């Protein structure tokens, strides 16, 4: 014999969570898309478009955080955390291109794991930007990309990263090695 009243309450709670979860997943996906657009725009030196996309992504993410701050588990959803990481990467890459220090992400709260994940992706963006810069014969930017990526790796190496962030760190080291190759090839032609 089931307690129908209790079962109705359980059903209502689960359905409510599922509806909220779908909203988080959808909006986080939108924010992640806007962050990717920002990175793509930065790679093309379209700062205005990039910053508009970053503003939209930040607004979505901060809105979700505010709306669901008391809902246990919703902000631990993989899609939300992935969008935060992509946003952190875009903000950090934008800061690099503006010559600003890479540090705390403004307007959106990110934990240390998310920050490190985003930071680990920045050397890959620097590699792409350095290749573009070398093609345009902007050799100073190639050096700037290499130096910044080397500094990032130098900081990350002392963090004793494990699991997911260790894999991301290994990818960042690979990007640094490729940057070193680009730098070498530029030195032969310059």
pLDDT number for residue 190: 63
Could you give the CA distance from residue 63 to residue 59 in angstroms, rounded to a whole number? Answer: 6
- Is the backbone of residue 136 left (phi > 0), alpha (psi -120 to 50) or beta? alpha
Q: Is 92 exposed, middle or buried (0-12, 13-18, 19+ CB in 10 A)?
A: buried
pLDDT number for residue 185: 92
Q: Say which residue the tokens 């939108």 belong to.
A: 30
Q: Say which residue the tokens 């080291």 belong to.
A: 173
| Residues of each domain in the chain carrying CATH 1.20.58.200 | 111-190
Fold of 1-104: Methane Monooxygenase Hydroxylase; Chain G, domain 1 (1.20.58)
Q: Which CATH code for domain 111-190?
A: 1.20.58.200
pLDDT number for residue 7: 82
| Residues of each domain in the chain carrying CATH 1.20.58.2140 | 1-104
Compute mean pLDDT per 10 residues along the chain, 190 residues long, and list them. 83 86 96 98 97 98 94 89 98 97 94 97 98 95 98 95 95 97 88
């Amino acid at each position: 014999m089931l307690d129908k009243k209790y079962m109705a309450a359980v059903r209502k709670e689960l359905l409510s969570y599922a509806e909220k979860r779908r909203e988080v997943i959808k909006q986080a996906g939108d924010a992640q898309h806007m962050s990717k657009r920002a990175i793509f725009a930065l790679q093309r030196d379209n700062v205005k478009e990039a910053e508009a996309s970053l503003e939209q992504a930040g607004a979505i993410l901060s809105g979700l955080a505010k709306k669901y701050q008391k809902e246990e588990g919703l902000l631990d959803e993989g899609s939300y955390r992935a969008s935060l990481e992509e946003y952190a990467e875009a903000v950090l890459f934008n800061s690099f291109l503006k010559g600003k220090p890479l540090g705390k992400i403004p307007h959106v709260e990110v934990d240390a794991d998310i920050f490190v994940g985003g930071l680990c992706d920045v050397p890959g963006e620097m590699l792409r930007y350095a290749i573009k810069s070398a093609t345009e014969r902007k050799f100073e930017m190639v050096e700037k990309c290499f130096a910044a990526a080397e500094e990032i790796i130098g900081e990350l190496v002392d963090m004793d990263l494990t699991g997911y962030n260790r894999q991301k760190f290994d990818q960042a080291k690979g990007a640094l090695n490729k940057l070193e190759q680009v730098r070498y090839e530029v030195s032969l032609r310059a």
